[in-house]
Protein backbone atom coordinates (compact mmCIF):
# COMPACT_ATOMS: atom_id res chain seq x y z
CA UNK A 1 0.00 0.00 0.00
CA UNK A 2 2.93 2.31 0.70
CA UNK A 3 4.19 1.87 -2.89
CA UNK A 4 0.83 3.00 -4.27
CA UNK A 5 1.05 6.23 -2.26
CA UNK A 6 4.56 6.93 -3.61
CA UNK A 7 3.39 6.19 -7.14
CA UNK A 8 0.40 8.49 -6.73
CA UNK A 9 2.61 11.26 -5.33
CA UNK A 10 5.12 10.98 -8.19
CA UNK A 11 2.27 10.91 -10.72
CA UNK A 12 0.70 13.99 -9.15
CA UNK A 13 4.02 15.89 -9.27
CA UNK A 14 4.65 14.91 -12.89
CA UNK A 15 1.15 15.95 -13.93
CA UNK A 16 1.54 19.30 -12.18
CA UNK A 17 4.87 19.91 -13.97
CA UNK A 18 3.32 19.01 -17.31
CA UNK A 19 0.36 21.32 -16.78
CA UNK A 20 2.62 24.22 -15.75
CA UNK A 21 4.88 23.69 -18.75
CA UNK A 22 1.97 24.09 -21.15
CA UNK A 23 0.81 27.51 -20.02
CA UNK A 24 0.96 30.07 -22.78
CA UNK A 25 2.10 33.56 -21.94
CA UNK A 26 0.24 36.37 -23.68
CA UNK A 27 2.04 38.01 -26.59
CA UNK A 28 3.78 41.33 -25.95
CA UNK A 29 1.83 44.48 -26.75
CA UNK A 30 2.28 45.82 -30.28
CA UNK A 31 4.87 48.50 -30.75
CA UNK A 32 4.21 51.82 -32.41
CA UNK A 33 5.10 52.66 -35.98
CA UNK A 34 8.81 52.84 -36.75
CA UNK A 35 10.41 56.28 -36.74
CA UNK A 36 10.80 57.96 -40.12
CA UNK A 37 14.12 57.42 -41.83
CA UNK A 38 16.33 59.89 -43.60
CA UNK A 39 14.67 61.46 -46.64
CA UNK A 40 16.50 60.83 -49.92
CA UNK A 41 14.11 62.83 -52.10
CA UNK A 42 16.25 65.94 -52.29
CA UNK A 43 19.52 64.25 -53.25
CA UNK A 44 18.39 61.37 -55.46
CA UNK A 45 18.98 63.22 -58.73
CA UNK A 46 22.50 64.19 -57.66
CA UNK A 47 23.17 60.59 -56.64
CA UNK A 48 22.10 59.31 -60.08
CA UNK A 49 24.25 61.90 -61.86
CA UNK A 50 27.34 61.01 -59.83
CA UNK A 51 26.70 57.29 -60.33
CA UNK A 52 26.35 57.81 -64.09
CA UNK A 53 29.57 59.86 -64.23
CA UNK A 54 31.41 57.29 -62.13
CA UNK A 55 30.21 54.53 -64.46
CA UNK A 56 31.49 56.44 -67.48
CA UNK A 57 34.82 56.98 -65.72
CA UNK A 58 35.19 53.28 -64.85
CA UNK A 59 34.18 52.20 -68.37
CA UNK A 60 36.70 54.54 -70.00
CA UNK A 61 39.42 53.41 -67.59
CA UNK A 62 38.63 49.76 -68.36
CA UNK A 63 38.61 50.33 -72.13
CA UNK A 64 41.98 52.17 -71.99
CA UNK A 65 43.40 49.31 -69.90
CA UNK A 66 42.24 46.61 -72.33
CA UNK A 67 43.50 48.52 -75.43
CA UNK A 68 47.07 48.92 -74.15
pLDDT at residue 55, rounded to an integer? 94
Residue 22 pLDDT:
64
pLDDT of residue 49: 94
pLDDT of 42: 74
Mean pLDDT by 10 residues, the chain (68 residues): 81 78 78 75 86 94 74
Taking the C-alpha atoms of residue 68 and residue 56, their distance in angstroms, rounded to an integer, is 19
Nearest 5 degrees, angle CA 61-CA 63-CA 68? 100
3-state secondary structure 23-41: CCCCCCCCCCCCCCCCCCC
Amino acid sequence: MHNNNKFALVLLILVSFASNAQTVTPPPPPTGPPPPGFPIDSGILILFVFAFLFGIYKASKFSKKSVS
